[in-house]
Amino acid sequence: VHRLDRPVSGVMVFGKTSKGASRLSEQIRAHSIEKEYHALVHGSLQKSSGTLIHFLKRDANKKKTFVVDEGVSGAEYAELLYEVVEKRGSYSLLRVILHTGRHHQIRTQLSHIGHPIVGDIKYGSAEARGKEEGLALVATRLSFDKATGNERVEVCLPRDLWGL
């Protein structure tokens, strides 16, 4: 019912039935599914936490998304929250919570503020990771309402499986 960029790993949700998938898709459209990621980025952020708000526009020909000014035709509002979990030499491990789900949103916004994700050559990382490793970006938690009732479900990926 949702997607991850090809080089991103982590938690996914699938609907067992078409009715269940439809209800989960509605939660995605209503932004009621909570999505949490962890990313290893270059550098040390000035603030230990913050909100990033930008307008993003996808360039289908370049298969890349860019930060643009508000009012640019086709630009979409994008918002995420980040928190520095720990610093590792010249890297920072961030917890990221998406409030919107735009194409390459986390990758674009973090790169725009000067902290590209490790291994993300497309968005400014100076170093590549192995093909099996992908980007240093992992979907670590999803929280949503069960399609069959009002029960909230939380799916978490244990930290030892993050690969960061």
Closest CA to 38 of 78, 98, 89: 98
Catalytic residues: 5
Q: Which two tokens stand for residue 37?
A: 């990621």
Q: How far is the C-alpha of 23 from the C-alpha of 89, rounded, in Å?
A: 44
Q: How far is the C-alpha of 141 from the C-alpha of 31, rounded, in Å?
A: 15
Q: What is the DSSP letter of 117?
A: B
Residues 6+ apart with CB under 8 A from 145: 27, 32, 151, 152, 153
Angle at 132 between CA 129 and CA 135, to 5 degrees: 45
> Do the bridges between strand 34-42 and strand 91-98 make them parallel or antiparallel, or are there none, so unpaired?
antiparallel
